[in-house]
Amino acid sequence: MGAEALWDVATETGEIATAVLVPSTATKDLSHAAMSLSKRSGFTPKAMYSDRWPVKTEYWERVFGKELEGRLGLFHFTQRLTRTMRKKHIDYFTAINHLLDAVYYYNQDDYESLLVALKDGTLSATGKKLTDDDITELKTTKYFRQRYSKYLRKEIRHPNTIRDRLDQWHARFKCSASEGSSPACGRLDPVSKEPLFTAETKTVLMNCKEKCQCLQDPLTLDQMYDIIHPNPNSPHGLKQYLSRCGESNLESFHLMLAHFGNTGMRESLADNLNLTGTARHNLSIRYTLRLSRMSIMTDENTAKRSVTPAGWETTVEYFNNSELNYINDL
C-alpha cells in the first residue's frame, strides 16, 4: 500500500496511544497524526522520548508546548554504537555490557537484593544456588538483562561521566590507535581476524558524546517506575519495576508488532491482526498495572493474590469480555 514505516507513540504505562502507517520517516508525513494526538483530552505529556532528539526540537515544542522536556531514548543511543560493531566478534557481548555500564548503573539496593536471591537459590525454579563466579559469567551474556532487569531500576550517569567512560570503552576494545591517543587494548577475532569496531564506530562515538546530555531521566527515580510488590507465594520476595519511560515500552511493542500480520496475507486480514494485536498488547499492560496499584498490601489484597501462582499473575485470563459472557451464559 506504499507504507514505508509506522509512526507510533507509547504512553508512560507502555500502552500504545497511536499507530499510523506513513509513506516516509519525514516529519511532514507524521505531522497530522502528531497534531491529532496533541488535541486528545487528557493527553498532556511532561516529557517526550525520541529516537532523534534534539532534532526537530522546535516542531515538537510547537505541537506539545514549550514546557515539554525532550530526551533521547537510551535504546536508540546505544543502538547507534552497536550497529557499527561486528556481531560475530568474540568480544561482542562483553563490549555491549561494558557500553551499557558506561551509560547507566543499577540501583544499589535493588542489585543487592537480586544477588541475595541468586545466591540463596530462591530465584531459581530448581533451587540452584549461584556462586560469585556463576553470577560473573552470567553477566557477560545477554541472559542476565533478559531474566533479571525487571527487578532492577536503572540510573543514568551524568553527561561528563558518560563521555569519560565512553572513551575508556572505546580504548578497551579498539585494535589500533593513532599517534597521541589512548593505547589500543582490543583484539582481533581469532576466526575472522577482524576487529570489533568498523570504520564508522569512531564517528558515531563522537556524535554520541555530543548527545549524551539528552539522556538523563526527566523525573526522579521513584517517579520513573511503577512497583509490583511480590506475590505472597513468591519465595524470593523481590519487587518488580515497570519503567515509565515510554521509549523502552515502545521498543518492547515493536518486537511483537512484526508478528501481528505479514505481507503474505490479504490486506484486510493483516489490518485486523494489527488492530487486534495492538489492543491485546494494551490489555496485557493494564492487566499487569492492576498489580502495581496494590501499593498497600492489605489482608484483602494478599488473599486475592495468594490464590494465583506467582508465575501466572501477569498473564491475562481472557481478552474478550463479550465472548466470556457468552460462554458463562452457556
The pLDDT-based confidence of 3 (bands split at 50, 70, 90) is low
Long-range contacts formed by 298-303: CB under 8 A, 24+ apart: 302/232
Lowest mean pLDDT among 107-121, 209-223, 261-275: 261-275
Q: What percent of the chain has pLDDT over 90?
A: 37
pLDDT, tens digit, 9 for 90 and up, residues 272-318: 777 778 888 888 888 888 887 775 666 777 777 778 787 788 788 88
Measured at the alpha carbon of residue 147, what is the angle toward residues 141 and 150, in degrees to the nearest 5?
Answer: 125
Task: Please tell me the predicted confidence (pLDDT) of residue 232.
Answer: 81
Task: Please tell me the predicted confidence (pLDDT) of residue 65.
Answer: 87
pLDDT, tens digit, 9 for 90 and up, residues 236-259: 889 989 888 877 778 778 777 766
Average confidence (pLDDT) over 111-123: 93
- Name the phi and psi angles at 68, rounded to 5: -65, 130
What are the cell numbers at 107? 540501583
The pLDDT-based confidence of 82 (bands split at 50, 70, 90) is very high
Question: 45-76 b/e with 16+ CB inside 10 Å = b?
Answer: bebbbbbebeeeeeebeebbeeebebbbbbbb
Q: What percent of the chain has pLDDT over 70?
A: 94
| Global pTM value | 0.80
Per domain, the residue ranges of the chain are 76-214, 220-329
Task: Please tell me the predicted confidence (pLDDT) of residue 126.
Answer: 85
Would you tell me how many other CB atoms lie within 10 Å of the CB of residue 26?
Answer: 11
pLDDT, tens digit, 9 for 90 and up, residues 127-166: 899 999 999 998 888 889 888 999 999 999 999 999 999 9
> Do residues 166 and 201 make contact, with C-beta atoms less than 8 angstroms apart?
no
> Do residues 152 and 111 make contact, with C-beta atoms less than 8 angstroms apart?
yes
Asked if the model's pLDDT at residue 319 lies above 90, the reply is no
